[in-house]
Amino acid sequence: MKRQYFGTDGVRGPYGGPVINEAFAERLGVAAARFVSRQTHTGEQRVLLGRDTRASGQSLLHAVSSGLASVGVESAVLGVVPTPAVAAALVRERAALGVMITASHNPAGDNGIKFFSRGGIKLSDQQEAEIERLLPGEQPPVLYSRSRHVDGLRSYMENVKQLLPANALDGWKIVLDTANGATCMTSPIVLRALGAEVVTLGDAPDGYNINAGVGSEHPEKLAAKVVETGARLGIAHDGDGDRCILCDELGGVLDGDEILTILALHALKQGVLPVRTLVVTVQSNLGVDAALREAGGRVLRTSVGDRYVIERMLLEGAMLGGESSGHIICSEISPTGDGLVAALKVIGVMLETGQPLSRLRRCLKKYPQASINLRVREKKELALLPHLPMAIQSLESEMGGYGRVLVRFSGTEAKLRLLVEGPTEALVKAGLARLEAVARTDLEVL
């Protein structure tokens, strides 16, 4: 379903731009209130609001709250919290809707607005389109609100801490990179409460340094610090805490595919992977499919976006899914991606097996893969480009069913994402170079 403002994960863009500004945020609050009123004619209509550490977050949150209040819908402010804490609070508080002000892994100059429905599930395409239809016309912002504050952290941390036994991490040294984001207030507290010695990176947010050279998008400092300190592992989140990237004790970085494969294979061995199924996106490496198939499981794929993964998990009765970017959904614990939950689940496997992360990660033998992101001036219809569709078809034909090509525009940024995966590294690299050259002729690349 075509949407004008919503992308892969909410509404997102540069703060102060045509979409992410206080006036539009208030209009979106009005539309969200109308949506809630239509969905819940009686009963709880309260909306929960959270944000990450971006300097623009507070005024955008206030604007959304103002829009909600103008239609008579009360909001409760959770403050600076990880995105999964908003989802958890929705379940706990039985609220009608959750709003997270965040641009996730994007730079500090961007911001965005994510929505969660009852039960902590992200809105469907249809629901987002409905909110767009309910947007009021252009109007000057009023910027008043009617809200109260609710503790969004204590219960979340207490619940997550129960994933491991008390003092399970005594004697463990862990390097933790919180991206100068929302998990600064949660992950180190939980890990230390479990007994770990925590060495922190990216733990001094100032409103402008979120994701700046740290976090899941920049794991280099994490890897170096793990080796330097002799830590058992490293954990990196993104700005709003719904992603997790790990680093083993040797300094090797594990992406979401490796995390998912470790968790899925361990669950299969224990007989506790529901419907013996792991759900991933088209972005995940084909080696994931091979590893699960060999262990008697199966892999299902969706479009890129963790909410599509969650929708398929609900449809199939699966409980584990995610993305190579590090969105990991363990739905028996959290209705959405949770970087801290994912890290603790992997640590649980390490504790149960007695194996270091460098050994556990060997369960995934990745197919050669190469990718590049090209920043473009304009996102055009891929099928209508003069040369790129034919180049994609030609490369896929050459690989003869032993690889794949994935070309798509980012749902949250003006970027063209190119990925080639195949039987040999030489073929993959050459294929990607060809696609990049063609893309540069079809599009204005910045």
Q: So what's the architecture of 256-363 in CATH?
A: 3-Layer(aba) Sandwich (3.40)
- Tell me how far the alpha carbon of residue 354 is from its chain's centroid: 29
Per-residue confidence (pLDDT) for residue 401, from 0 to 100 = 75
Region of residue 289 (phi > 0: left; psi between -120 and 50: alpha; otherwise: beta): alpha
Where exactly does CATH 3.30.310.50 map onto the chain? 369-442
How far apart, in whole angstroms, are the C-alpha atoms of residue 89 and residue 423?
A: 45
In this model, does residue 43 exceed pLDDT 60?
A: no
Per-residue confidence (pLDDT) for residue 41, from 0 to 100 = 56
How far apart, in whole angstroms, are the C-alpha atoms of residue 29 and residue 134?
A: 10
In this model, does residue 1 exceed pLDDT 70?
A: no
E strands in 202-325:
233-236, 245-247, 253-254, 277-281, 298-302, 320-322
Tell me the average pLDDT across 267-295: 95
- Is domain 369-442 annotated with CATH 3.30.310.50? yes
Per-residue confidence (pLDDT) for residue 423, from 0 to 100 = 84
What is the per-residue burial (b if ≥16 Cβ within 10 Å, else e) of 406-442? bbbbbbbbebbbbbbbbeeeebbebbbebbbebbeeb
pLDDT digits (tens, 9 = 90+) for 86-111: 999 999 988 999 999 999 999 999 99
Q: In the chain, how long is the greatest CA-to-CA distance?
A: 61
Tokens of 362: 């060997």
What are the backbone dihedrals phi and psi of residue 80, each rounded to the nearest 5 degrees, phi first? Answer: -80, 110
In this model, does residue 45 exceed pLDDT 90?
A: no
Per-residue confidence (pLDDT) for residue 140, from 0 to 100 = 61
Where exactly does CATH 3.40.120.10 map onto the chain? 11-151, 155-251, 256-363
- Say whether 354 sits in a helix, a strand or coil: coil
**Fold entry, domain 11-151:** Alpha-D-Glucose-1,6-Bisphosphate; Chain A, domain 3 (3.40.120)
As a whole-number percent, the residues of the chain with pLDDT over 90 amount to: 85
Confidence of residue 145 (pLDDT cuts 50, 70, 90): low
Confidence of residue 40 (pLDDT cuts 50, 70, 90): low
Residue 200: beta bridge partners?
A: 176
Per-residue confidence (pLDDT) for residue 133, from 0 to 100 = 95
In this model, does residue 116 exceed pLDDT 90?
A: yes
In this model, does residue 227 exceed pLDDT 80?
A: yes
Tell me the average pLDDT across 269-273: 97
Residue 417: beta bridge partners?
A: 373, 408
Q: Is the entire prediction scored with pTM above 0.85? A: yes
Q: Which of 66, 75, 104, 325 is catalytic?
A: 104
Per-residue confidence (pLDDT) for residue 402, from 0 to 100 = 80
Average pLDDT of the chain to the nearest whole number? 94
Per-residue confidence (pLDDT) for residue 138, from 0 to 100 = 79
Tell me if residue 155 is catalytic: no
- Superfamily classification of domain 155-251: Alpha-D-Glucose-1,6-Bisphosphate, subunit A, domain 3 (3.40.120.10)
How far apart, in whole angstroms, are the C-alpha atoms of residue 40 and residue 256?
A: 37
